[in-house]
């Protein structure tokens, strides 16, 4: 191979690495759509009564806030297991707000929680982290205690 040809190949490779052929990072709107889809699928595990599916969304070092603080995936999954028993879900939720950091590594979702009859009973807030395997997982989760959200204040 001639020196000139080798130089042209090296320059072409550098151009590809500089962005010509490398996939660009997802836009913030794309990341928000990914996180919204993850939250929606996470909520669907409750509707589907799929405790194993629920566990796939929980990060190893997750912290869930409730009556007690649950630390770690094993503690969260164990504490939530009874919520997945029985034919009818004890509650449901859906994301209304989704925000992603400019870095594309952390996101926050928030929205209503509904009782089994579909009445709004609270609000949840979840922090998601983009893991090394490319999946969004929950690192922090907090719901407000049950409330009468329709009451005038």
Q: Is 82 exposed, middle or buried (0-12, 13-18, 19+ CB in 10 A)?
A: exposed
Tell me which residue of 137, 122, 120 sits closest to 39, measured CA to CA: 137
Residue 152 pLDDT > 70, yes or no?
A: no
Residue 94 pLDDT > 80, yes or no?
A: yes
Tokens representing residue 93 in the block: 């939720």
Supply angle C-alpha 114, 116, 121, rounded to 5.
30
The answer to whether 90 and 76 have CB atoms below 8 angstroms apart is: no
Cα dihedral 72, 47, 146, 141 in deg (nearest 10): 30
- What is the structure's pLDDT at 21? 33
Q: How many domains does the chain have?
A: 1
**37-93: pLDDT as tens digits:** 999 999 999 999 999 999 999 999 999 998 899 999 999 999 999 999 999 999 999
- What is the structure's pLDDT at 26? 85
18-27, 99-108, 110-119, 128-137: which range is least confident on average? 18-27
Inside any domain, residue 56: yes
Query: Which positions ≥6 away from 135 have C-beta within 8 Å?
Result: 38
Inside any domain, residue 129: yes
The CATH number of the domain where 107 resides is what? Answer: 3.10.450.50
d(CA 79, CA 89): 15
Inside any domain, residue 7: no
- What is the structure's pLDDT at 144? 81
List the alpha helices (DSSP H) in the chain: 3-15, 28-47, 51-56, 73-80
Inside any domain, residue 76: yes
Instruction: Say what percent of the chain tops pLDDT 70.
Output: 78
Question: Domain range spanning residue 35?
Answer: 27-143
Inside any domain, residue 12: no
Inside any domain, residue 98: yes
């Amino acid at each position: 191979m001639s020196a000139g040809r080798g130089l042209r190949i090296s320059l072409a490779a550098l151009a590809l690495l500089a962005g010509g052929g490398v996939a660009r990072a997802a836009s913030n709107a794309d990341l928000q759509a990914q996180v919204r889809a993850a939250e929606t699928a996470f909520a669907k595990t409750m509707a589907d009564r799929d405790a194993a599916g629920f566990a796939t969304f929980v990060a190893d070092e997750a912290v869930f806030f409730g009556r007690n603080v649950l630390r770690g995936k094993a503690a969260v999954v164990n504490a939530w297991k009874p919520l997945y028993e029985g034919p009818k879900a004890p509650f449901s939720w859906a994301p209304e707000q989704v925000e992603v950091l400019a870095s594309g590594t952390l996101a926050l979702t928030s929205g209503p929680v509904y009782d089994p009859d579909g009445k709004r009973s609270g609000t949840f807030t979840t922090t998601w982290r983009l893991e090394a395997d490319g999946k969004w997982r929950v690192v922090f989760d907090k719901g407000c205690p049950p409330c009468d959200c329709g009451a005038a204040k």
